[in-house]
Amino acid sequence: MHPRKIAIIGGGIAGIAFAQRYRQLGGRVSIHERGMPQHDPGMGFILLANGFEALSHIGRRSAVKDLSYPLTDCTIRDHRDQKLVDEKLDSAHGITRSAFLEALGQDLPEGWTRYGQAFSHFEYHPSGQAHRAIFQNGEGVEADLFLGCDGTNSKVRGEIFPASKVSRSRVVELVSVIENDLLVARCRKRFMKFRHKDGGLALGLVPATRRKLIWYLQFDRQKYPTPEADPARLESFSRRLTQGWSGPALQLIEATDFGRTRICHTGALSPLQQYFSENVALLGDAAHAVHSFTSQGVNTAIEDAVYLAEALTNGHATGSLDPLAIYSETRRNAMRTLFDFGNMLQDEFLAPPTADQRIPLATTA
pLDDT tens digits, one per residue of 219-264: 999 999 999 999 999 999 999 999 999 999 999 999 999 999 999 9
Q: What is the 3-state secondary structure (H, E, C) of the chain?
A: CCCCCEEEECCCHHHHHHHHHHHHCCCCEEEEECCCCCCCCCCEEEECHHHHHHHHHHCCHHHHHHCCEEEEEEEEEECCCCEEEEEEEEEEEEEEHHHHHHHHCCCCCHHHEEECCCEEEEEECCCCCEEEEEECCCCEEECCEEEECCCCCCHHHHHHCCCCCEEEEEEEEEEEEEECHHHHHHHCCEEEEEECCCCCEEEEEEECCCCEEEEEEEEECCCCCCCCCCHHHHHHHHHHHCCCCCCCHHHHHHCCCHHHCEEEEEEEECCCCCCEECCEEECCHHHHCCCHHHCCHHHHHHHHHHHHHHHHHHHHHHCCCCHHHHHHHHHHHHHHHHHHHHHHHHHHHHCCCCCCCCCCCCCCC
Look up the CATH number of the domain holding residue 136: 3.50.50.60
Contacts of 216 (CB under 8 A, 6+ apart): 173, 174, 175, 176, 203, 204, 206
**Residue 153, domain extent:** 6-52+97-166+267-348
Report pLDDT for 317: 46
40 occurs within a structural domain: yes
The answer to whether residue 277 sits within a structural domain is: yes
Does some domain include residue 362? Answer: no
Contact 218, 196 (CB under 8 A): no
Domain assignment present for 68: no
Does residue 311 lie within any of the structural domains? Answer: yes
The band of 362, judged by pLDDT with boundaries at 50, 70 and 90, is confident
pTM attached to this predicted model: 0.94
- Confidence at 360, pLDDT banded by 50, 70, 90: confident
Give the per-residue pLDDT at 110.
Answer: 86
Q: Is residue 225 part of a domain?
A: no
Let me know if residue 203 belongs to a domain.
Answer: no
Is 65 domain-assigned? no
Number of domains the chain contains: 1
**Could you report the per-residue pLDDT of 115-160, keeping only the tens digit for each?**
999 999 999 999 999 999 999 999 999 999 999 999 999 999 999 9
